[in-house]
Structures are given as structure tokens and as C-alpha cells.
Amino acid sequence: MNRLAELHLEATALTGLPASVENLSGVSVINLSYCKHLESLPSSIFRLICLKTLDLSGCLKHKNLPDDLGLLVGLEDLHCTGTAIRTIPSSISLLKNLKHLSLRGCNALGSQVSSSSHSQKSMGVNFQNLSGLCSLTMLDLSDCNISDRDILHNLGFLPSLVELYLDGNNFSNIPTGCISRLTRLEVLALTGCRRLESFPEVPRSIERLYANECTSLKSIE
């Protein structure tokens, strides 16, 4: 299958892929969406330097994006909607060609509670690892359980971002300057952010802004 360009295995009962997937040297698309039993990917898949699209949407048991992700230097589209991933690997910043990143519905990604025998401590997510994505035009972090503990400041360092989706999250405010620094941003979606109390300053480039069902919204700058 050396000439294989696209591999579509959507909605199958696969629990994984064989290590021999690395032999598909010319493949540009791998779609594993809605493989509900898929738990992990073989490390060999990250040797596919021609891979442009990887779709893991709906893989409910998939919990980790490994550090090897940064080896996919040609990757342009990464879809992880509705997966169980809990962290964003630092190596994602190496994906300089990545244009579209969807983490919609990854509700284990946002603020988590670490329990011990003595105390409970809230842990937030730092989105600093995304700040190196210089080609990113679309970022979807909707329904990711993002709260005020999660560090959103670094979203302001995505120079190519055109569309930002933050719908359905739990933050009450967005850090000053975070959105206004996105000078190419055309679409900002905050629908259903029911705890959002104040509206961030937006860049002049904005064309579509969605803040419906933000039931706590009290002010707009």
C-alpha cells in the first residue's frame, strides 16, 4: 500500500493500529473518528512526515497526545473533538504548519481537582504550549471545562488566528489583552459561557462575535 494517500477507518471497533502503519509513507490523511474503543496510537505513526490530517474525534477512550506528536512536522489539521485527553504536550509547539486544532468537548482538559488523603487542590491548564503555533488559523476550545484557573494569556500569542471558539466554558473573565492582541481574528465565539461577567477588548479585525446565552454578562468594553 505504498501509494495509499488516505486511510479512513471511522466508527470501527479498532483498539489500536499496528506498528507497521509507519510503512504508509505517503499517507496524508488518517481518519479514526468515532473509533470508541481506540485508546492510543503506536509511536510509529509519528514517523509519517507526509501526514497532513489526523482525526481522532469521538475516540472516547483516547486520553493522551504523546510528546512524539511534535514529529509530525507536516501536520495541518488535528481534530480531537470529544476525546478524553487531559493535557496538551509541549511538543505541539513544534507543529509550525498546523492550521486547524479542535479540542471541542475535551472536558477533562480544563481545571481538574487533585485529591489526596489530606487535601484537594485545583489544577488549571496552561495553554503556553499553543503559543508556538505560528500558522494556526482556527482553534476550538469549546466545552473544555476551562475556568479562571486555566491560564488563557498565551492565546494572545497566536499571530495567524482567524477563528477562536470558546463556547460553553466556565471562566468569568478573559485576561486583559488576550483577545486584542489577535490582530487577524475575525470570529470570536463565547456562546453559553454562563459565568462570563465582562467582555474582553476585541481587535478591529473582528467580523463575527457570538456571546448569546452569556447570562452573567454585565459589561462590554
Which of the 8 DSSP states describes residue 144? S
Q: Which pLDDT value is given to residue 140?
A: 98
Q: Which pLDDT value is given to residue 80?
A: 97
In this prediction, the residues of the chain whose per-residue pLDDT falls under 70 are: 1, 111-126, 221
Q: Which pLDDT value is given to residue 213?
A: 96
Q: Which pLDDT value is given to residue 120?
A: 37
pLDDT tens track for 61-89: 999 998 999 999 999 999 999 999 998 99
DSSP codes, 170-196:
--S---TTTTTT-TT--EEE-TT-TT-
Q: Which pLDDT value is given to residue 116?
A: 39
pLDDT tens track for 132-153: 899 999 999 999 999 887 778 8
198 in helix, strand or coil? strand
Q: Which pLDDT value is given to residue 135?
A: 98
Alpha helices in the chain (DSSP H): none
| Cell numbers for 124 | 488549571
**Alpha-carbon span 9 to 138, nearest angstrom:** 25
Indicate the pTM of the whole model.
0.92
60 in helix, strand or coil? coil
What is the biggest distance separating any 2 CA atoms in the chain, rounded to whole angstroms? 58
Angle at 78 between CA 72 and CA 81, to 5 degrees: 145
**Alpha-carbon span 68 to 79, nearest angstrom:** 16
**Alpha-carbon span 160 to 93, nearest angstrom:** 14
Distances (CA, A) of 166 to 61, 148, 160, 179: 23, 13, 17, 12
